[in-house]
Structure 1
């Protein structure tokens, strides 16, 4: 089992299975941010299980601060329909864009689909506080990174990267998959079991 500090080093190699510990459990009890965003209707025509985590409304101030997103512009992104649905929010700061989505397709289907669509390096299986997931460079290239976490109704995905030049990312030694794993570890305690 890897510690969170060791995860960034392990992710740069992106092989095998890693597990992070109970790093962010204190974030689940903090207050929720004030927002003008509203929950979308999940009445019919939603097909599949009801999504019980809303990436726009169920995050906490503690999570946003720890993730470096407390000053982010927030934009809701939802798809309600057939055959599955997704809820999501894009969090954009001067340095990074993080997209958090939740969907009611099966986690297993996402794992298979991700592998079939991948033209770059494969994903790694992970566990965060015992929750199954997988992480890897974005399907279209390695400038962004994507992590999926299993939920009782489907999955939550954390995707994103830095809004900096490749030279600046390299100069500062920033690791996009390490950052996505860190944010996934912070959000995990907020997810339904």
Structure 2
């Protein structure tokens, strides 16, 4: 998550709403007609960069039961808004559920939706990135952009990208083999990809 993430995570440290409880109520368009009109959420944050509005909110559009089943503590997810001037990110941080030391590792996950393009991401992190597809969607796999034990999947959307950045907290001394940094993350990302809706 080197590129946008370093600047964005710096902002996130300040901007994270440590919502150790339920998500804030989303704003909805309350216009009604006789035929039930679909509700539309107003993006949590917009910018004046001319880039598209971010229509996927990681904290609100990834169902808690799905995240809990995947091993993340959805009850204590943390929201972050990162307006960076010429682009924006909405982020959600999930801690992995408690694991058994020496037996099972814990993974923390940061999901970021941003209105930068996949090409921009590739230009920033090309030395770490491999071009792939997830369920037919153009994507990147980035390994170790910020150091050891880190894996990121970046999926293209109609507003920009969604990043799934996972950090493996090892439960033993010594290094974790690089081929384990992304273990299982591809299956998780493929499972939630249809939720991006964009």
TM-score, normalized by length of structure 2? 0.67
Match of 1:22 in 2: none
2:139 aligns to what SS in structure 1? Answer: strand
1:90 and 2:93 matched: yes
State the shift of 1:76 in Å.
1.0
Match of 2:83 in 1: 80
Identify which of structures 1 and 2 has the higher relative contact order when contacts are C-alpha pairs closer than 8 Å and 6+ apart. 1
2:55 aligns to what SS in structure 1? Answer: coil
- The alpha-carbon distance between structure 1 residues 147 and 43, as it changes in their structure 2 partners (threshold 3 A), is closer
- The alpha-carbon distance between structure 1 residues 135 and 43, as it changes in their structure 2 partners (threshold 3 A), is closer
Counterpart pick for 2:67 among 58, 64, 67: 64
Provide the rounded CA distance (Å) in 2 between the counterparts of 1:87 and 1:38: 16
Please say if residues 63 and 186 of structure 1, whose CA atoms lie closer than 8 Å, have aligned partners that are also in contact: no
Counterpart pick for 1:152 among 149, 158, 175: 158
Counterpart pick for 1:133 among 136, 139, 145: 139
Match of 1:49 in 2: 52
Please say if residues 125 and 135 of structure 1, whose CA atoms lie closer than 8 Å, have aligned partners that are also in contact: yes
Provide the rounded CA distance (Å) in 2 between the counterparts of 1:38 and 1:81: 24
Match of 2:9 in 1: none
Match of 2:118 in 1: 107
State the shift of 1:137 in Å.
1.2
Any gaps of 5 or more consecutive residues in structure 1? Answer: 1-33
Of structures 1 and 2, the larger Rg is shown by: 2
CA RMSD in angstroms comes to: 2.8
Any gaps of 5 or more consecutive residues in structure 2? Answer: 1-20, 27-42, 99-105
Please say if residues 47 and 85 of structure 1, whose CA atoms lie closer than 8 Å, have aligned partners that are also in contact: no
- The alpha-carbon distance between structure 1 residues 165 and 63, as it changes in their structure 2 partners (threshold 3 A), is same
State the shift of 1:128 in Å.
1.2
Match of 1:4 in 2: none
TM-score, normalized by length of structure 1? 0.68
Provide the rounded CA distance (Å) in 1 between the counterparts of 2:180 and 2:58: 23
1:77 aligns to what SS in structure 2? Answer: strand
Counterpart pick for 1:191 among 189, 192, 196: 196
1:49 aligns to what SS in structure 2? Answer: coil
Please say if residues 87 and 103 of structure 1, whose CA atoms lie closer than 8 Å, have aligned partners that are also in contact: yes
Report the more deviating stretch, 179-188 or 105-114.
179-188
Match of 2:34 in 1: none
Match of 1:15 in 2: none
State the shift of 1:133 in Å.
0.4
